[in-house]
Structure 1
Amino acid sequence: MDVFGKALTDYCQKGKASTLWLHNSYDEPEEMPIDVFFRDEDDMPELEHQALALCKGKILDVGAGVGSHTLWLQQKGFDVTAIDISETAVEIMRNRGVKKASVKDIFTLEQRYDTLLFMMNGIGLTGTLPGFVSFLAKAKTWINPNGQLIFDSSNISYLYDDLPMPKDHYFGEVSYCYEYQEQKGKWFNWLYLDQQTLLRTAKQCGWQCTICYDDGEDQYLAKLTLPA
C-alpha cells in the first residue's frame, strides 16, 4: 500500500487528512504535516526560492511529490519534467496541472538534463553515503555539458547532542517509515549530508560544489557541477 499516497489523496480530495506519522530510526515518531507538499510560491521558504532561481535549461524535478515546484517552474516558462516513484503522487500532480509527469526511479534515467532538482532533502533518496557516491558517478551521464545538480540537505548532528554518534555508519544515514490510519508502509533509508562531508565527497568524486545558501539552522542549498 502507498501509505504516503493515501494521505496525499485524502488531503487533495477533502482539504484535510488524518495524521501522517513518520517513524524513524533515532527517536519517537513525528507528525508529518501534509499541507506542506501542497504549498504555493508564497509559502515556500527562502531556500526554495533560491533553488528555483538557479534552475536553467531542461529541468528534471526528482521526487517531485505533488508537483508544487514543477508548477512554479512551468508557470515561469521552463521546460520541466517531474518524476516520482509514487503513482498516486504523479496522478495528483497531473490533476494539479503538471504537463510532463511520470512514475520513474531516478536510477533508471536515460535522458540528459541541464538541471537535476532535488527539493525537500530529496537527495536523501540516495540512502547512504556510499549510495550518494554511486549516485554522483551515475549523475555524470544524466546532465548535459555545463549541467548542474541542485539540492538541499541538513546537518543532523544535533540529534546526537545527548547521544553517542553511531560508530558503524555515517551519522546522516537514517531510516523512516510512514504510518497513516494505522497502516504502515515499508521502511526506507534516507541520507542527510553535513556541508563538510558533502564538499569532501563531491571533490573526491570529481564534482565542483558550491554552497549557495545557508539558512543558519542546519539546512543549506548546494549546487554541483562538473569541471569544464
Structure 2
Amino acid sequence: MPDDAFGQMVLDFHRDNLAEQPSYRRDDGTLTDAHLAGYFEPPAAWHPVEQRLLSDVTGRALDAGCGVGRHALSLQERGHEVLSVDRSPGAVAVARERGVTHAAVGDLRRPPGGGFDTVVALGKQLGLGTSLADLRTTLTGLATVTRPGGRLVADVDTLDRADPETGAAHAVRPGVAYRRFRVEYDGLAGPWTDLLLVTPSGFRAAVSETPWTVDRVVGTAESGSAYGVGLSLPADR
C-alpha cells in the first residue's frame, strides 16, 4: 500500500516537528514545494469561492475529504453537526487534535452514514478521477447519503485560464483534463492522485446525468482557475 505521506506531513507540521520540506511530484517528474500552511488557513485567508460557498451550508453536514478539518471547525463554530471523512489517517488525527468532534477515516466516494442536509466537498474533492464518468460516480454516491432537498457545495478546477498547476495536465476531451501528483515527505511516497479539470459547461453536462441539479456556479476575479458550484436534490426524492 502507498504511504500516508500527506498524513505524516500535516501531522508533523501541526506538531511543529517537520523533518524536511515536503514536495508534490507530478507524473512528469516535476517537484514543487508542498504548500503546507494553506491546509491550516483560517476562514479570513480562504479562497473567495470557499468563503462564499460555506455560507450556503445548512443543517447536518458531511465534510467529504476533510483534510485537517479547517472547514469542519468553521462549521462547528457556526453550530452545525458535522461528520468529517478523509482517506488519510494522519490528516484525521490532526483534525481530531484541532478539535473536530466527529472525524473518521473513509472514502468520500463510498460515504458513511446518511441523512445529511449538506455535503461539503471543498478543496477540489469532487474532482477525484480522470473522467466525467468518475465525477458522475462520486456525485451519485454522495446523493445516496443526502436527504431529499439536500444540498452540495464544492469547488472545481478548470482549464479555462492559464495556471501553472494545470499546465502539465492530460487532455481527455475538449474542456476536460486531469492532473496526477503525489506527496513525498521524509522517505514516504503517497498514492498517485488524479484531479479532474472541467469547464463549467462540462460540469453541468455531467451533473445532468445524476440525481443532482446545478443551482448556481460562482466565481470571482480572484478565482483563478477555480469556480464554485451549489447543487441540490429534489425535495420529493
2:144 is paired with a residue whose SS is coil
Report the secondary structure of 1:223's partner residue: strand
Q: Does 1:84 align with 2:108?
A: no
Aligned-pair RMSD on alpha carbons? 2.6
State the number of aligned residues: 228
* Cα shift readout 1:59-115 (whole Å, capped 9, x = no counterpart): 011111110111011011111111111111111111111111111112142412111
- Unmatched tracts of structure 2, length 5 or more: none
The answer as to whether partners of 1:2 and 1:86 remain within 8 angstroms in 2 is yes
Q: Could you tell which deviates more after superposition, 56-65 or 207-216?
A: 207-216
Inter-partner Cα distance in structure 1 for 2:168 and 2:39: 31
Contact 2:154-2:230 at 8 Å conserved across structures: yes
Q: Which residue is equivalent to 1:222?
A: 229
Tell me if 1:30 matches 2:35: no
1:32 & 1:48 partners in 2: Cα distance? Answer: 20
* Cα offset, 1:149, TM superposition: 1.3
Q: Residues of 2 paired with 1:52 and 1:93: CA distance?
A: 18
Using a 3 Å threshold, how does the CA distance of structure 1 residues 188 and 196 change in structure 2: closer, same or farther? same
Tell me the residue number matched to 2:207: 202
Partner of 1:60: 62
Which residues in structure 2 correspond to 1:107-126 (within 5 Å)? Answer: 107-126=110-129
Q: Report percent identity of matched pairs.
A: 24
State which drifts further: 65-74 or 203-212: 203-212
Q: 1:97 to 1:6 in 2, by over 3 A?
A: same
SS of 1:192's partner is strand
The alignment's TM-score, normalised by the length of structure 1, stands at 0.88
How big is the shift at 1:54? 0.4
Which consecutive aligned stretches of 4+ in structure 1 deviate over 4 angstroms post-superposition? Answer: 159-165, 167-170
Q: Does residue 135 of the first structure (1) align with residue 134 of the second (2)?
A: no
Indicate the residue corresponding to 1:152 in structure 2. Answer: 155
Deviation at 1:173, TM superposition (A): 2.1
SS in 2 for 1:91: helix
* More moved, 218-227 vs 89-98: 218-227
Partner of 1:192: 197
Q: CA separation in 2, counterparts of 1:188 and 1:146?
A: 32
Q: Give the alignment partner of residue 211 of structure 1, picking from 210, 216, 220.
A: 216
* Residue type of the alignment partner of 1:29: L
Question: Structure 1 CA distance, aligned partners of 2:178 and 2:111?
Answer: 23
